[in-house]
């Protein structure tokens, strides 16, 4: 009897777990995402960096970006002198290393023979062309007036960027966006359920407010 009751409890627990997994899978994610966050970000090295799965690499990128921002924005260093000084220092170190290697019983530096093949150049050109074509198609579809939601989101995003751009210098704004890019995915992954719930609530309120506006083409889209 005890063994039977234990099996029944295990079956009930398994059923409850399955129901919870189904409820989680049915939950609406932010921006209509269906895949896990790591898969949505590409499941590659970029996703590992953005989600801090490789903490040393992510930290090194963050520190490098911070140093560059401090050099150019706070210290007042200019880009062209920085590049020239960096190249001077690098070439001087390599030159001394090559000439002094025989005196210190060290092998001279070996430079890889880096050459871009025609296939790589063609692939890069195709990727750039495809992205430009997709951007042009996106803008053309947005200006046709068929998708009010997309139009309003783009207009609102541009307006927010213009307002924020008036508060900061361009380099500071780029640095803030870079920090957000490295921190927002990690914070979202740790608080995914809460953010999805608030995002869904905010989206429903925005759509309800748009439905009250006297926009006949928006109402026709809702009917379809």
Q: Quote the number of domains for the chain.
A: 2
pTM: predicted TM-score of the whole model, two decimal places: 0.56
Tell me, yes or no, whether 108 lies in a domain: no
Helix (H) and strand (E) counts in the chain: 10, 0
pLDDT digits (tens, 9 = 90+) for 147-176: 777 777 778 888 888 887 788 788 888 888
Tell me, yes or no, whether 67 lies in a domain: no
Tell me, yes or no, whether 64 lies in a domain: no
If asked whether residues 88 and 159 sit together in one domain, one would say yes
Separation of alpha carbons 68 and 171, rounded Å: 10
If asked whether residues 185 and 205 sit together in one domain, one would say yes
If asked whether residues 132 and 156 sit together in one domain, one would say yes
Tell me, yes or no, whether 187 lies in a domain: yes
Distance of alpha carbon 176 from its chain centroid, rounded? Answer: 13
> Does residue 121 have a pLDDT over 80?
yes
The closest of 114, 98, 115 to 106, measured between CA atoms, is 98
Check residues 156 and 7 and name the one with the higher pLDDT: 156
If asked whether residues 86 and 152 sit together in one domain, one would say yes
> Does residue 88 have a pLDDT over 90?
yes
If asked whether residues 199 and 130 sit together in one domain, one would say no
If asked whether residues 154 and 200 sit together in one domain, one would say no
If asked whether residues 162 and 174 sit together in one domain, one would say no
Tell me, yes or no, whether 204 lies in a domain: yes
If asked whether residues 133 and 206 sit together in one domain, one would say no
22 confidence band (pLDDT: 50, 70, 90): very low
- pLDDT given at position 129: 92
Tell me, yes or no, whether 182 lies in a domain: yes
Tell me, yes or no, whether 91 lies in a domain: yes
If asked whether residues 163 and 174 sit together in one domain, one would say no
If asked whether residues 199 and 142 sit together in one domain, one would say no
If asked whether residues 129 and 208 sit together in one domain, one would say no
Separation of alpha carbons 34 and 40, rounded Å: 8
Distance between first and last Cα of the chain: 59
If asked whether residues 190 and 156 sit together in one domain, one would say no
Q: Domain span at residue 207?
A: 169-213
């Amino acid at each position: 009897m005890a063994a039977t009751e234990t099996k029944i409890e295990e079956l009930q627990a398994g059923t409850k777990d399955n129901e919870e997994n189904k409820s989680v899978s049915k939950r609406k994610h932010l921006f209509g995402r269906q895949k896990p966050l790591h898969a949505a970000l590409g499941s590659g090295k970029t996703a590992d960096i953005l989600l801090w799965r490789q903490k040393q690499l992510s930290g090194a990128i963050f520190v490098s970006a911070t140093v560059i921002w401090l050099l150019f924005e706070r210290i007042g260093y200019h880009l062209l002198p920085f590049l020239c000084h960096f190249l001077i220092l690098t070439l001087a170190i390599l030159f001394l290393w090559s000439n002094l290697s025989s005196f210190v019983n060290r092998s001279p530096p070996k430079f890889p023979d880096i050459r871009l093949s025609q296939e790589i150049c063609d692939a890069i050109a195709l990727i750039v062309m495809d992205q430009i074509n997709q951007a042009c198609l996106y803008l053309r579809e947005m200006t046709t007036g068929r998708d009010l939601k997309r139009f309003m989101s783009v207009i609102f995003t541009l307006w927010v960027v213009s307002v924020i751009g008036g508060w900061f210098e361009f380099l500071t704004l780029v640095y803030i966006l870079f920090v957000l890019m490295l921190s927002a995915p990690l914070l979202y992954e740790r608080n995914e359920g809460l953010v999805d719930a608030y995002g869904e609530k905010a989206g429903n309120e925005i759509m309800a407010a748009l439905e009250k506006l006297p926009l006949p083409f928006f109402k026709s889209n809702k009917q379809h």
